[in-house]
Chains A and B, each alone.
Chain A
Amino acid sequence: MAADMGPAATLPLPYVVTRRRRELRGTYTLELEPASGEGGVSPAPGQFNMLYAFGSGEVPISVSGLASDGTALVHTIRDVGPVTKALCGLKVGETVGLRGPFGTSWPVDSIEGNDVVIVAGGLGLAPLRPAIRQVLEHRQNFGRVVLLYGTRTPEDILFRAELQRWRGRFDLDVEVTVDSADSSWSGDVGVVTRLISREQFDPLNTVALVCGPEIMIRFAAQELENKGVATEDIYVSLERNMKCAVGFCGHCQFGSFFVCKDGPVFSYDRIKRLAGISEV
């Protein structure tokens, strides 16, 4: 994929912040448009871009959507270090460097005809959002669609307004659970994997898309397998220390894979063995 991109694979292009929205404490969504004014890239759901905060560094950030008119790339970023802090602090009109899109995508087109179980944890909802939107745009081509979302507390629910809209639909089941809450929260409390065990779905025709912290992915995949979903029908998105994003530097090596080019989206049967080894 990187080879097809030409210079865009290694040369950051200037993009302008056209919109900045605070999602949660320390988490912001940026909409970016090419500074040249020409058409930008069109990432597939699940792909990521390398965002370069000038003077700070470069980080991989999943695409969390396209703006409604399709011109702007949307990235949701949590401030966890100096580069992400700089990105979160960008103001409308400021410029960022962007390389991409990179990596594999959620196989939304090829899973039509199936029930879809989407399991997201914390900020893992961001890389899944484009896939959810695509599924909903072609809703008639899928069976039952279930979104199971787990996060830390009720205050940490990402994309709350959109989740509420999705929850209001008659053709999408949305369950949200948090790790802990005060007594004003009347929803579910507990790990997101518990929501899987409660769900009823046809394992022979179910595809699962899972994104979140790696340990959550492992337990979610285990629970899905317990429900009879085949490992090759479970797709997960891994987060690793991507640097070059084109499979040269090896920073994101995961066993025999480079997460930047072989992933970040993998079918679980390819990585299940590695996922159980803490040293990898």
Chain B
Amino acid sequence: MTRSLHRVLGSHPFFEGLPERHLEILVGCASNRVYYGGDVILRQGDDATEFFLIRHGRVAIEIPSPGGPRTIQSLGPGEVMGWSWMAKPYRDRFDARATELSRVIALDGKCLRDKFESDHELAYELLRRFVGVIAGRLDNAHLQLQDLYGSASDGR
């Protein structure tokens, strides 16, 4: 089991090129999970203790809105979900719900936070990767906010 987790983690794009020593640490904090369509994975406001590498399926990131939850982003295979475990107040900022059968690797963020204090190289590697993901998602959010497809340019 540990060997296959090691292989899965090492082949996930988010951990591409990660030193063996760091992979070993991560395997110790990882578990394999399956969610079915409709299962809630994260709930806004809950303690943020984990993040997820999506291997298969699709997960919707949702925010509450007056007419019911709105999906603002979906994540699929090869993507990573959840960074609230890294920064205070360590509370999940969004709901996350599997929209179909989804296989993920869950990583214990709380455990990793403790390891970061003593292993700054590991902390740097992971933070560097998460910053790249967050920057990309921020770019996408900016595009979504512009309501690109809303209207033509000259209004004739």
Q: Do A and B come from one complex?
A: yes
Q: Hey, which bits of chain A sit against chain B, CB under 8 A?
A: 57, 59, 78, 80-84, 121-123, 150-152, 156, 177, 179-183, 185-191, 193-194, 198, 212-216, 219, 239-241
CA of A138 to CA of B100 in the docked complex: distance in angstroms?
Answer: 35
Q: Which residues of A contact B99 (CB under 8 A)?
A: 186
Q: Once bound together, how far apart are the Cα atoms of A250 and B30, in whole Å? A: 62
Interface-located stretch among B43-51, B107-115, B116-124, B146-154: B146-154
Check A239/B152 contact, CB under 8 A, given A183-B62, A215-B143, A216-B143.
Answer: yes
Q: Which residues of B contact A (CB under 8 A)?
A: 37, 58, 60-62, 67-74, 76, 78, 97, 99-100, 139-140, 143-144, 146-156
Main secondary structure of the interface of B (DSSP, over half): loop
B140 touches A194 (CB 8 A): yes
Contact A191 B149 (CB under 8 A): no
- Is the Cβ of A78 less than 8 Å from the Cβ of B144? no
Inter-chain pairs besides A189-B71, A213-B148, 19 sampled, C-beta below 8 Å: A78-B151, A80-B151, A80-B155, A81-B155, A121-B148, A177-B74, A179-B144, A179-B148, A179-B149, A180-B72, A183-B68, A186-B60, A186-B100, A190-B73, A190-B74, A191-B144, A213-B149, A215-B146, A216-B143
Bound complex: CA of A194 vs CA of B144, how far in Å? 12
In the assembled complex, the Cα of A215 lies from the Cα of B79 at a distance in Å of: 24
Instruction: Name the CB-closest residue of B to A26.
Output: B151
What A residues does B148 contact at CB under 8 A?
121-122, 179, 191, 212-213, 215-216
When distances are taken between beta carbons in the complex, the residues of chain B under 8 Å from A185 are 71
Q: Which of B68, B73, B139, B147 contacts A182 (CB 8 A)?
A: B68
Name the contact of B156 in the complex, choosing from A84, A186, A189, A212 (C-beta under 8 A).
A84
Least CB distance, B126 to chain A, in whole angstroms? 21
Complex contacts, B67 vs chain A, CB 8 Å: 182
> A152 with B154: in contact, given A181-B70, A190-B140, A193-B140 (CB under 8 Å)?
no
Query: Chain A's nearest CB lies how many Å from the CB of B79?
Result: 9
Which chain B residues lie closer than 8 Å to A121 at the CB level? Answer: 148-149
| B residues less than 8 Å from A152 (CB atoms) | 147, 149-150
